[in-house]
């Protein structure tokens, strides 16, 4: 399986009052949508939907499950997990950074979210 890169273009956060899978309480999910585009034409070359299950801090995080798009125009699906203590970092990144890139490595079962390159000392813009 190859590696894939795409830009995160949308997200939503789902908080549960009480949701149990098996015997485990699942406090939240973060759902992401990402697209790879042709640098010359800007046409979308691949679409991805990612489900990040937030698990209690005491729970082990399982390896990602990565399913590339089966055909042109279809949507690839990724299922991965993070512990609850990492949720504020993800939300902060999604709310405040752009672009956010997604890197998937199916052979090593790795999901990476990263910001685009930014200048050192840029600081945050203050609303006025």
Look at residue 14 and tell me if it is in a domain.
yes
> Is the residue at 128 inside a domain?
no
Question: Is residue 120 a part of any domain in this protein?
Answer: no
Q: Whole-angstrom Cα distance, residue 100 to residue 97?
A: 7
> For residue 122, is it within any domain?
no
123: in domain: no
Q: Which domain holds residue 14?
A: 3-115
- Predicted TM-score (pTM) of the model is 0.84
- 121 inside domain: no
pLDDT tens for the chain, 128 residues long, are 588 999 999 999 988 766 666 666 677 889 999 999 988 998 998 999 999 999 888 888 989 999 999 887 889 999 999 999 999 999 999 999 999 999 999 888 999 999 988 878 777 666 65
Residue 20 counted as domain residue: yes
Structural domain contains residue 13: yes
**How many distinct structural domains can be found in the chain?**
1
């Amino acid at each position: 399986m190859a590696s894939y890169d795409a830009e995160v273009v949308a997200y939503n956060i789902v908080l549960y009052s009480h949701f149990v899978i098996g015997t485990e309480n699942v406090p939240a999910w973060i759902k992401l949508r990402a697209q790879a585009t042709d640098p010359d034409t800007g046409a979308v070359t691949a679409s991805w939907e990612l489900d990040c299950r937030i698990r209690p801090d005491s729970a082990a995080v399982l390896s990602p499950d990565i399913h590339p798009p089966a055909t042109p125009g279809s949507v690839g699906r990724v299922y991965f997990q993070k512990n609850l203590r990492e949720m504020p970092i993800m939300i902060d990144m999604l709310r405040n950074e752009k672009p956010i890139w997604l890197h998937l490595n199916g052979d090593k079962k790795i999901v990476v979210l990263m910001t685009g390159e930014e200048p050192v000392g840029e600081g945050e813009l203050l609303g006025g």
